[in-house]
Structure 1
Amino acid sequence: MSFWDDRYSRDEYVFGEAPNAFLAAQSHLLPKSGKALAIADGEGRNGVWLAEQGLDVLSLDASPVGLEKAKKLAAKRRVKLSTKLLDISDYDWPAERFDVVAGIFFQFAGPDLRDTIFAGMIETLKPGGLLILQGYGPRQLEYKTGGPGILENLYTEALLAEKFSALEIFHLGDRDGEVAEGSAHVGKSHLVDLVGRKAG
Protein backbone atom coordinates (compact mmCIF):
# COMPACT_ATOMS: atom_id res chain seq x y z
CA MET A 1 0.00 0.00 0.00
CA SER A 2 1.33 3.45 -0.92
CA PHE A 3 2.02 6.18 1.65
CA TRP A 4 -1.13 8.08 0.67
CA ASP A 5 -3.36 5.00 0.53
CA ASP A 6 -2.19 4.11 4.01
CA ARG A 7 -2.75 7.64 5.26
CA TYR A 8 -6.26 7.84 3.81
CA SER A 9 -7.32 4.35 4.95
CA ARG A 10 -8.80 5.57 8.25
CA ASP A 11 -12.45 6.58 8.58
CA GLU A 12 -11.73 10.22 9.35
CA TYR A 13 -10.85 12.69 6.63
CA VAL A 14 -7.17 13.36 7.27
CA PHE A 15 -7.34 17.02 6.15
CA GLY A 16 -10.98 17.44 7.15
CA GLU A 17 -14.10 17.72 5.05
CA ALA A 18 -14.11 21.52 4.79
CA PRO A 19 -12.30 23.21 1.90
CA ASN A 20 -8.96 24.90 2.29
CA ALA A 21 -9.62 28.34 3.79
CA PHE A 22 -7.63 30.24 1.17
CA LEU A 23 -9.47 28.49 -1.65
CA ALA A 24 -12.84 29.22 -0.05
CA ALA A 25 -11.88 32.88 0.35
CA GLN A 26 -11.69 33.16 -3.45
CA SER A 27 -15.34 32.21 -3.95
CA HIS A 28 -16.21 35.70 -5.20
CA LEU A 29 -13.79 35.25 -8.12
CA LEU A 30 -15.18 31.94 -9.34
CA PRO A 31 -17.34 31.77 -12.44
CA LYS A 32 -20.95 30.73 -11.92
CA SER A 33 -20.45 27.72 -14.18
CA GLY A 34 -17.67 26.02 -16.12
CA LYS A 35 -15.02 23.34 -15.69
CA ALA A 36 -12.64 23.13 -12.73
CA LEU A 37 -9.58 20.96 -12.11
CA ALA A 38 -8.51 20.06 -8.56
CA ILE A 39 -5.02 18.57 -8.68
CA ALA A 40 -3.72 16.14 -6.05
CA ASP A 41 -7.17 16.43 -4.50
CA GLY A 42 -6.76 13.55 -2.03
CA GLU A 43 -10.01 12.89 -0.19
CA GLY A 44 -11.82 15.52 -2.23
CA ARG A 45 -12.51 18.34 0.20
CA ASN A 46 -11.52 21.03 -2.31
CA GLY A 47 -12.98 19.41 -5.39
CA VAL A 48 -16.30 18.83 -3.65
CA TRP A 49 -16.40 22.44 -2.51
CA LEU A 50 -15.75 23.64 -6.06
CA ALA A 51 -18.62 21.43 -7.23
CA GLU A 52 -20.83 23.03 -4.59
CA GLN A 53 -20.09 26.38 -6.24
CA GLY A 54 -21.72 25.12 -9.45
CA LEU A 55 -18.61 23.98 -11.32
CA ASP A 56 -18.09 20.76 -13.26
CA VAL A 57 -15.09 19.37 -11.37
CA LEU A 58 -12.40 16.84 -12.23
CA SER A 59 -10.52 15.65 -9.14
CA LEU A 60 -7.08 14.16 -9.84
CA ASP A 61 -5.14 12.02 -7.39
CA ALA A 62 -2.77 9.04 -7.30
CA SER A 63 -4.54 7.36 -4.36
CA PRO A 64 -7.55 5.13 -5.10
CA VAL A 65 -8.36 5.17 -1.38
CA GLY A 66 -8.43 8.96 -1.36
CA LEU A 67 -10.61 9.16 -4.46
CA GLU A 68 -13.12 6.67 -3.04
CA LYS A 69 -13.45 8.93 -0.01
CA ALA A 70 -13.83 11.90 -2.37
CA LYS A 71 -16.75 10.16 -4.07
CA LYS A 72 -18.36 9.46 -0.70
CA LEU A 73 -17.96 13.09 0.32
CA ALA A 74 -19.51 14.24 -2.95
CA ALA A 75 -22.46 11.90 -2.40
CA LYS A 76 -22.86 13.19 1.15
CA ARG A 77 -22.91 16.76 -0.12
CA ARG A 78 -25.16 15.81 -3.06
CA VAL A 79 -22.89 17.11 -5.79
CA LYS A 80 -21.34 15.50 -8.84
CA LEU A 81 -17.59 14.96 -8.84
CA SER A 82 -15.59 13.34 -11.63
CA THR A 83 -12.40 11.62 -10.53
CA LYS A 84 -9.29 10.43 -12.35
CA LEU A 85 -6.74 8.09 -10.80
CA LEU A 86 -3.23 8.88 -12.00
CA ASP A 87 0.24 9.92 -11.01
CA ILE A 88 0.37 13.65 -11.72
CA SER A 89 3.63 13.14 -13.62
CA ASP A 90 1.60 11.17 -16.20
CA TYR A 91 -1.13 13.77 -16.74
CA ASP A 92 -1.29 15.15 -20.27
CA TRP A 93 -2.54 18.67 -19.30
CA PRO A 94 -5.06 19.22 -22.11
CA ALA A 95 -4.74 22.70 -23.60
CA GLU A 96 -7.28 25.36 -22.60
CA ARG A 97 -9.70 22.92 -20.97
CA PHE A 98 -10.53 24.43 -17.56
CA ASP A 99 -12.03 27.67 -16.29
CA VAL A 100 -10.54 27.13 -12.81
CA VAL A 101 -7.44 25.21 -11.70
CA ALA A 102 -6.80 24.72 -7.98
CA GLY A 103 -3.59 23.34 -6.48
CA ILE A 104 -3.58 23.18 -2.68
CA PHE A 105 -0.61 21.76 -0.70
CA PHE A 106 0.69 19.35 -3.37
CA GLN A 107 4.26 19.63 -2.09
CA PHE A 108 5.30 16.03 -2.62
CA ALA A 109 6.70 17.35 -5.92
CA GLY A 110 10.39 18.20 -6.16
CA PRO A 111 11.55 21.13 -8.32
CA ASP A 112 11.53 19.37 -11.71
CA LEU A 113 8.09 17.82 -11.31
CA ARG A 114 6.78 20.98 -9.68
CA ASP A 115 7.88 23.07 -12.66
CA THR A 116 6.12 20.63 -14.99
CA ILE A 117 2.95 20.84 -12.90
CA PHE A 118 3.06 24.64 -12.78
CA ALA A 119 3.50 24.83 -16.56
CA GLY A 120 0.67 22.32 -17.02
CA MET A 121 -1.66 24.33 -14.80
CA ILE A 122 -1.12 27.37 -17.02
CA GLU A 123 -1.45 25.35 -20.23
CA THR A 124 -4.74 23.74 -19.24
CA LEU A 125 -6.44 27.01 -18.26
CA LYS A 126 -8.80 28.53 -20.78
CA PRO A 127 -8.17 32.17 -21.72
CA GLY A 128 -9.57 34.16 -18.83
CA GLY A 129 -9.29 31.14 -16.53
CA LEU A 130 -8.50 31.41 -12.83
CA LEU A 131 -5.61 29.71 -11.03
CA ILE A 132 -5.60 29.31 -7.24
CA LEU A 133 -2.52 27.95 -5.47
CA GLN A 134 -1.44 27.56 -1.86
CA GLY A 135 1.52 25.83 -0.27
CA TYR A 136 4.00 26.05 2.54
CA GLY A 137 7.05 28.31 2.66
CA PRO A 138 10.49 27.72 4.18
CA ARG A 139 9.60 28.67 7.77
CA GLN A 140 7.38 25.60 7.76
CA LEU A 141 10.53 23.59 8.49
CA GLU A 142 10.56 25.28 11.91
CA TYR A 143 6.82 25.04 12.60
CA LYS A 144 6.44 21.38 11.59
CA THR A 145 2.65 21.63 11.44
CA GLY A 146 2.31 19.93 8.03
CA GLY A 147 4.06 19.67 4.71
CA PRO A 148 6.94 17.65 3.30
CA GLY A 149 9.80 18.78 5.52
CA ILE A 150 11.95 19.20 2.37
CA LEU A 151 13.23 22.72 1.71
CA GLU A 152 13.41 22.43 -2.07
CA ASN A 153 9.72 21.45 -2.24
CA LEU A 154 8.57 24.62 -0.46
CA TYR A 155 7.41 27.88 -2.09
CA THR A 156 8.62 31.46 -1.98
CA GLU A 157 6.99 34.58 -3.40
CA ALA A 158 9.87 34.95 -5.84
CA LEU A 159 9.46 31.38 -7.08
CA LEU A 160 5.73 31.76 -7.72
CA ALA A 161 6.17 35.19 -9.33
CA GLU A 162 8.67 33.69 -11.76
CA LYS A 163 6.81 30.48 -12.56
CA PHE A 164 3.44 32.21 -13.07
CA SER A 165 4.70 35.35 -14.80
CA ALA A 166 2.54 34.45 -17.82
CA LEU A 167 -0.57 35.13 -15.72
CA GLU A 168 -2.07 38.36 -14.49
CA ILE A 169 -1.27 37.92 -10.80
CA PHE A 170 -3.65 39.79 -8.53
CA HIS A 171 -2.72 38.12 -5.28
CA LEU A 172 0.68 36.85 -4.17
CA GLY A 173 1.12 36.44 -0.44
CA ASP A 174 3.68 35.22 2.09
CA ARG A 175 2.57 35.12 5.71
CA ASP A 176 2.35 33.17 8.91
CA GLY A 177 -1.14 31.99 9.79
CA GLU A 178 -3.04 29.45 11.84
CA VAL A 179 -4.24 26.44 9.88
CA ALA A 180 -6.86 23.94 11.07
CA GLU A 181 -7.46 21.26 8.43
CA GLY A 182 -8.29 17.88 9.89
CA SER A 183 -5.60 16.23 11.98
CA ALA A 184 -2.73 16.69 9.49
CA HIS A 185 -2.55 20.48 9.03
CA VAL A 186 -2.92 22.11 12.44
CA GLY A 187 -1.19 25.13 13.97
CA LYS A 188 1.06 28.02 13.03
CA SER A 189 2.13 27.71 9.40
CA HIS A 190 4.17 29.59 6.80
CA LEU A 191 1.80 30.02 3.86
CA VAL A 192 2.61 31.20 0.36
CA ASP A 193 -0.28 31.63 -2.06
CA LEU A 194 -1.22 33.01 -5.41
CA VAL A 195 -4.28 33.86 -7.46
CA GLY A 196 -3.87 34.66 -11.12
CA ARG A 197 -5.79 34.83 -14.37
CA LYS A 198 -4.75 33.74 -17.84
CA ALA A 199 -4.97 36.46 -20.45
CA GLY A 200 -8.20 36.28 -22.38
Structure 2
Amino acid sequence: MHDDHGGRHGNFDDFYAGGHQWSGNPNEALIREASELTPGRVLDIGAGEGADAVWLAERGWRVTAVEPATAAVERARELAGQRGVDKQITFEVALLSDYLAASGEETFDLICAFFFPAPVSAEETDALLRLLKPGGTLLWVDHDWEDRRPERMNPATMESLIAGRMSSMDLRHSTRDVTHGAGAHHHEDIILRAVR
Protein backbone atom coordinates (compact mmCIF):
# COMPACT_ATOMS: atom_id res chain seq x y z
CA MET A 1 0.00 0.00 0.00
CA HIS A 2 1.33 3.41 -0.92
CA ASP A 3 -0.41 5.84 1.35
CA ASP A 4 1.14 9.19 2.13
CA HIS A 5 -1.31 10.30 4.82
CA GLY A 6 -2.40 13.37 2.89
CA GLY A 7 1.02 14.80 2.26
CA ARG A 8 1.86 14.13 -1.37
CA HIS A 9 -0.37 16.88 -2.72
CA GLY A 10 -0.78 18.82 0.50
CA ASN A 11 -4.40 17.71 0.89
CA PHE A 12 -4.25 17.51 4.66
CA ASP A 13 -7.81 18.70 5.16
CA ASP A 14 -9.11 16.19 2.62
CA PHE A 15 -7.26 13.40 4.40
CA TYR A 16 -8.86 14.22 7.76
CA ALA A 17 -12.31 15.13 6.41
CA GLY A 18 -13.61 11.55 6.59
CA GLY A 19 -13.23 11.17 10.33
CA HIS A 20 -10.58 9.84 12.71
CA GLN A 21 -7.52 8.49 10.90
CA TRP A 22 -5.20 7.28 13.66
CA SER A 23 -5.41 4.82 16.53
CA GLY A 24 -5.79 7.53 19.18
CA ASN A 25 -2.72 6.18 20.99
CA PRO A 26 0.64 7.93 21.27
CA ASN A 27 3.36 6.64 18.99
CA GLU A 28 5.32 3.75 20.46
CA ALA A 29 8.61 5.41 19.53
CA LEU A 30 7.62 8.55 21.45
CA ILE A 31 6.88 6.54 24.58
CA ARG A 32 10.21 4.71 24.34
CA GLU A 33 12.32 7.75 23.51
CA ALA A 34 10.73 10.47 25.65
CA SER A 35 9.71 8.64 28.82
CA GLU A 36 13.03 9.29 30.54
CA LEU A 37 13.38 12.92 29.40
CA THR A 38 12.79 15.70 31.91
CA PRO A 39 9.58 17.50 30.90
CA GLY A 40 10.02 21.00 29.54
CA ARG A 41 8.81 22.67 26.36
CA VAL A 42 8.15 20.52 23.29
CA LEU A 43 7.39 21.32 19.66
CA ASP A 44 5.25 18.58 18.09
CA ILE A 45 5.47 18.96 14.30
CA GLY A 46 2.61 17.49 12.29
CA ALA A 47 0.62 16.82 15.43
CA GLY A 48 -2.32 15.20 13.64
CA GLU A 49 -5.21 14.34 15.94
CA GLY A 50 -3.20 15.09 19.06
CA ALA A 51 -2.45 11.73 20.71
CA ASP A 52 1.27 12.51 21.09
CA ALA A 53 0.66 16.06 22.28
CA VAL A 54 -1.82 14.85 24.90
CA TRP A 55 0.52 12.09 26.09
CA LEU A 56 3.34 14.61 26.49
CA ALA A 57 1.11 17.11 28.30
CA GLU A 58 -0.08 14.41 30.69
CA ARG A 59 3.56 13.89 31.64
CA GLY A 60 4.19 17.54 32.42
CA TRP A 61 5.38 18.90 29.09
CA ARG A 62 4.25 22.30 27.78
CA VAL A 63 3.37 21.49 24.18
CA THR A 64 3.23 23.55 21.01
CA ALA A 65 1.44 21.35 18.47
CA VAL A 66 1.72 22.40 14.81
CA GLU A 67 -0.69 20.85 12.30
CA PRO A 68 -2.07 22.29 9.03
CA ALA A 69 -5.38 20.37 8.95
CA THR A 70 -8.14 22.23 10.75
CA ALA A 71 -10.23 19.05 11.24
CA ALA A 72 -7.29 17.28 12.87
CA VAL A 73 -6.65 20.20 15.23
CA GLU A 74 -10.33 20.29 16.22
CA ARG A 75 -10.11 16.60 17.18
CA ALA A 76 -6.84 17.22 19.02
CA ARG A 77 -8.36 20.08 21.01
CA GLU A 78 -11.35 17.91 21.89
CA LEU A 79 -9.08 15.08 23.06
CA ALA A 80 -6.97 17.48 25.13
CA GLY A 81 -10.10 18.86 26.76
CA GLN A 82 -11.41 15.39 27.54
CA ARG A 83 -8.10 14.48 29.18
CA GLY A 84 -7.82 17.76 31.10
CA VAL A 85 -4.58 18.99 29.50
CA ASP A 86 -5.94 21.61 27.09
CA LYS A 87 -4.25 24.42 29.08
CA GLN A 88 -0.85 22.78 28.58
CA ILE A 89 -1.09 22.59 24.78
CA THR A 90 -0.95 25.46 22.30
CA PHE A 91 -2.33 24.37 18.94
CA GLU A 92 -1.08 26.12 15.80
CA VAL A 93 -3.01 25.51 12.56
CA ALA A 94 -0.12 26.02 10.16
CA LEU A 95 2.29 24.41 7.76
CA LEU A 96 5.73 23.94 9.26
CA SER A 97 7.20 26.57 6.91
CA ASP A 98 4.62 29.15 8.01
CA TYR A 99 5.10 28.34 11.68
CA LEU A 100 8.88 28.70 11.37
CA ALA A 101 8.54 32.00 9.52
CA ALA A 102 6.34 33.40 12.31
CA SER A 103 8.08 31.83 15.32
CA GLY A 104 9.62 34.18 17.80
CA GLU A 105 12.30 33.62 20.40
CA GLU A 106 10.70 30.60 22.07
CA THR A 107 12.99 27.59 22.32
CA PHE A 108 12.27 23.94 23.06
CA ASP A 109 13.76 21.09 25.07
CA LEU A 110 12.32 18.56 22.62
CA ILE A 111 11.36 18.84 18.96
CA CYS A 112 9.61 15.79 17.56
CA ALA A 113 8.10 14.79 14.24
CA PHE A 114 6.40 11.48 13.56
CA PHE A 115 5.70 10.38 9.98
CA PHE A 116 6.00 13.92 8.63
CA PRO A 117 4.53 13.74 5.09
CA ALA A 118 6.49 16.56 3.43
CA PRO A 119 10.09 17.45 2.64
CA VAL A 120 11.95 19.87 4.91
CA SER A 121 14.43 22.27 3.32
CA ALA A 122 17.92 23.00 4.61
CA GLU A 123 16.72 26.48 5.59
CA GLU A 124 13.78 25.07 7.54
CA THR A 125 16.12 22.60 9.24
CA ASP A 126 18.38 25.48 10.26
CA ALA A 127 15.36 27.29 11.70
CA LEU A 128 14.35 24.17 13.63
CA LEU A 129 17.80 23.84 15.14
CA ARG A 130 17.68 27.48 16.25
CA LEU A 131 14.52 26.59 18.20
CA LEU A 132 16.22 23.64 19.96
CA LYS A 133 17.88 24.51 23.26
CA PRO A 134 21.46 23.41 23.90
CA GLY A 135 21.11 19.93 25.38
CA GLY A 136 17.70 19.57 23.75
CA THR A 137 16.59 16.50 21.81
CA LEU A 138 15.44 16.22 18.21
CA LEU A 139 13.33 13.12 17.57
CA TRP A 140 12.47 12.43 13.92
CA VAL A 141 10.63 9.20 13.02
CA ASP A 142 9.22 7.80 9.80
CA HIS A 143 8.22 4.43 8.44
CA ASP A 144 10.88 2.34 6.75
CA TRP A 145 9.39 2.67 3.28
CA GLU A 146 10.29 -0.02 0.77
CA ASP A 147 10.73 2.61 -1.94
CA ARG A 148 12.24 6.08 -1.90
CA ARG A 149 9.68 8.68 -0.83
CA PRO A 150 11.13 12.07 -1.83
CA GLU A 151 7.90 13.79 -0.78
CA ARG A 152 8.62 12.84 2.84
CA MET A 153 11.36 13.87 5.27
CA ASN A 154 13.32 10.68 5.90
CA PRO A 155 15.20 10.50 9.22
CA ALA A 156 18.39 9.64 7.32
CA THR A 157 17.98 12.81 5.25
CA MET A 158 17.47 14.83 8.41
CA GLU A 159 20.61 13.23 9.86
CA SER A 160 22.61 14.41 6.85
CA LEU A 161 21.25 17.95 7.20
CA ILE A 162 22.22 18.28 10.87
CA ALA A 163 25.51 16.35 10.73
CA GLY A 164 28.32 18.09 12.58
CA ARG A 165 25.97 20.37 14.52
CA MET A 166 24.80 18.00 17.26
CA SER A 167 26.57 16.61 20.30
CA SER A 168 25.20 13.13 19.58
CA MET A 169 23.14 11.38 16.91
CA ASP A 170 21.63 7.91 16.79
CA LEU A 171 19.85 6.57 13.68
CA ARG A 172 18.30 3.11 13.97
CA HIS A 173 15.46 0.83 12.90
CA SER A 174 12.68 -0.12 15.29
CA THR A 175 9.74 -2.51 15.02
CA ARG A 176 6.23 -1.29 15.81
CA ASP A 177 3.01 -3.04 16.77
CA VAL A 178 0.00 -0.95 15.72
CA THR A 179 -3.22 -2.85 15.09
CA HIS A 180 -5.59 -0.13 13.86
CA GLY A 181 -5.63 3.31 12.30
CA ALA A 182 -4.17 4.50 9.00
CA GLY A 183 -0.64 3.39 9.89
CA ALA A 184 -1.43 -0.13 11.08
CA HIS A 185 0.12 -1.80 8.05
CA HIS A 186 3.58 -0.35 8.80
CA HIS A 187 5.72 -2.59 11.01
CA GLU A 188 9.17 -0.99 10.88
CA ASP A 189 10.26 2.57 11.60
CA ILE A 190 13.46 4.54 11.32
CA ILE A 191 14.25 6.67 14.37
CA LEU A 192 16.65 9.60 14.50
CA ARG A 193 17.45 10.83 17.97
CA ALA A 194 19.90 13.72 18.16
CA VAL A 195 20.98 15.94 21.03
CA ARG A 196 22.18 19.48 20.42
Could you state the TM-score of these two structures normalised by the residue count of structure 2? 0.80
5+ long unaligned stretches in structure 2: 1-9
Aligned to 2:190: 192
Aligned to 2:47: 41
Aligned-residue offset at 1:188: 4.2
Question: What do you get for the CA RMSD once the two structures are aligned?
Answer: 2.4
Aligned to 2:122: 115
Aligned to 2:113: 103
- One-letter amino acid matched to 1:67: V
* Aligned pair partner of 1:51 in 53, 57, 64: 57
Identity rate, percent: 24
Aligned to 1:172: 171
Aligned to 2:98: 90
Aligned to 1:183: 181
Aligned-residue offset at 1:96: 5.9
CA deviation vs aligned residue, 1:98-155 (integer Å, no higher than 9, x gap): 111111111222xxx343443332110111111111013342x3xxxxxxx7346352
More strand per residue: 1 or 2? 1
Counterpart CA distance in 1 for 2:42 and 2:79 is: 17
Secondary structure of the corresponding residue to residue 180 of structure 1:
coil
CA spacing shift, 1:36–1:21, aligned 2, 3 Å:
same
- One-letter amino acid matched to 1:153: R
Check the 8 A contact 1:179/1:185 in 2, yes or no.
no
Paired residues in the alignment total 182
Aligned-residue offset at 1:182: 4.0
Equivalences for 1:139-154 in 2 at 5 Å? 139=146, 141=147, 150-151=149-150, 153=152
5+ long unaligned stretches in structure 1: 142-148
- One-letter amino acid matched to 2:171: L
